[in-house]
A and B are shown apart, each in its own frame.
Chain A
Amino acid sequence: MTAAAPAAPLASSDRFGPFGGRYVPETLIPALDALDAAFDDAMRDAAFTAELAELLRTYVGRPSALSTAPRLSAQVGAMVLLKREDLNHTGAHKINNTIGQALLARRMGKARIIAETGAGQHGVATATICARFGLECVVYMGEEDMRRQALNVFRMRLMGATVVPVTSGTRTLKDATTEAIRDWVTNVEGTHYIIGSVVGPAPYPRMVRDFQRVIGDEARAQVLALAGRLPAAVVACVGGGSNAMGIFHAFVNDPDVALVGVEAAGHGLDTGAHSASLARGTPGVLHGSLSMLLQDAAGQVHPAHSVSAGLDYPGVGPEHAWLQESGRATYVSVTDDEALEGVALLSRLEGIVPALETAHAVAWIAKERGRWTSGEPVLLCVSGRGDKDVAQLSQMPRFRDQLGA
């Protein structure tokens, strides 16, 4: 494998252009300082990175495959290549980050882990590694999401995690994150908070990206080996944005590679019921960082909407805000209905049932027929598998009627 491209230079270690920072209660500052130092120290420690690599290989099953997609490619008119994070243990990219952070927590002597979860994939990935390491695990999950993702709630509990229903606010990912931060402020001395995306106060956006960059590092080498060239575009869905940052990072310094993030347009960008913080947000502070945010004129956070619980978040990682502002990446959006179409499309054409989140990226590529030539590689991050969604999907008229169930 070739070496990955270095990271884009930043003004400071905790900012991406003007975005990022540490907007948290004073109580957390020493813990963030300690985490920052421990992370940098660990990444310089060959024993740590070797243990991480070994777990990714033998426990997660990395490197994840790069699959060709002949029938989807024929339909799109490009060489669509699928980076198969759905094949990871637990079924999504989330575990790349939870293993890294759990190793770090152990190294810092923290025996209690907390996490927030939306779709439940990050909660499951956290519960998984806590079981593997024998760490106490508490997962905050919105009551609404617990209903939408009941199967993942059961999986977490099966692995010994405590799942705490969050009943405040919109009862989704936003409020689960807020509640997890409240827990951390209260129990900061013995607890590590495993944030599941490239959001939150510094160093989280940088740290989560660095634990997820394995996706892009592998994919870059795999595409070069398969196609003999870099992809024309790298496409990934964006909620908080961790799978997208993970796959983008290796290509940031390749100016000919288009980076495309696909946000959830929900019922439509003009309906107010969407999660497209990059398309329709304004700069604001939520959950510890300055980024693009869905909010009203008074600075109150506007509830997000998406059919996929994992994208249902009014903020976005600060590095994405910067990639957009600097022009390095482009952000587009796809509606709930189009995403459902994306699930059906990848299922029927390639025999891969994608997560609803991933289906947004599938749907965008499918709409872009004619953008590329048939030989041009287009790299799509299949961030997760759709098993968690099938119960929800099977109840939707669209699928019930079409499938004759």
Chain B
Amino acid sequence: MEYKATKQGYADALKELGHENEKVLVMDADVAKATLTEQFEAEFPNRFFNCGVQEQNMLSAAAGLALEGFIPFASTFGVFATCRAGDQMRSSIAYPKLNVKIGVTHCGISVGGDGASHQSNEDIGMARTLPNMTVIVPGDYEESRLATHAAAKMKGPVYLRFGRDKYPVVPEIHGSFEIGKAKTLREGTDVTIITTGILVNEGLVAATTLEEKGHSVRVVHMHTIKPLDTEAVLKAARETKGIVTAEEHSILGGLGEAVAGVVAENHPCPVQRVGVMDTFGESGQSQELLDLYGLRAPNIVEKAMKIIS
């Protein structure tokens, strides 16, 4: 299996956008080497603005650039954009519905060695609760690239979430990309696995395991958390016995709660959530943390069996 960083998809798309659209600007807050926006800087030094270690000013200044007609991609780590500069995301960008793209990397538990201070397991929840905010969590390198292009095309604030590590390339999710439109990767009738972000591969592996046991599994990849593809969720609720959600994020506030809310109000069915429990993370290797915090295919299988049996 091929592994590639989702943040590289972001960086590559930014370079492509740099050539396509002169209104595209990139900002960073002293993590350009880590977010990989330094690659944009290398090609477009006059359209790159390193704000230093000041995420709050960066997001509000990005709002200012959007007011002047530019399309700024403000980049930092997920935990800083949402927790450090949450007010600026809310008041400067989301409330006036400005055309700012917030591209964040190092999200989820898999940031690894830096530990809890840098592991953003709450950011989807924070971004999702802001009115006007679109929230996209791509599943692999290529989808990250496509999502970044799509974000540039749409008018309005977008939160784009990427990881630090290299993650499996998942050809099933390549091709077209439409914001708010989930991708059904497998059809099935017993249970539906809804994935977001890098857990898409775990979802597919889990589905294979379940199929080998004779179960019919649907896999829906929900790259856009907001606006949520409620049609795909309700179709799954109607046509299968229940739903397992899988995300590299807290079980609070993210995909799991978004799906559960839609289902509970419209077509109640069992929902099981795979994600980080209500806890802070710790330092470790990216891959071992995914194991430790229960974000793997077997964890999804276990939850699915609760629904099937």
- A and B associate: no
Chain B residues at the A interface, C-beta cutoff of 8 Å = none
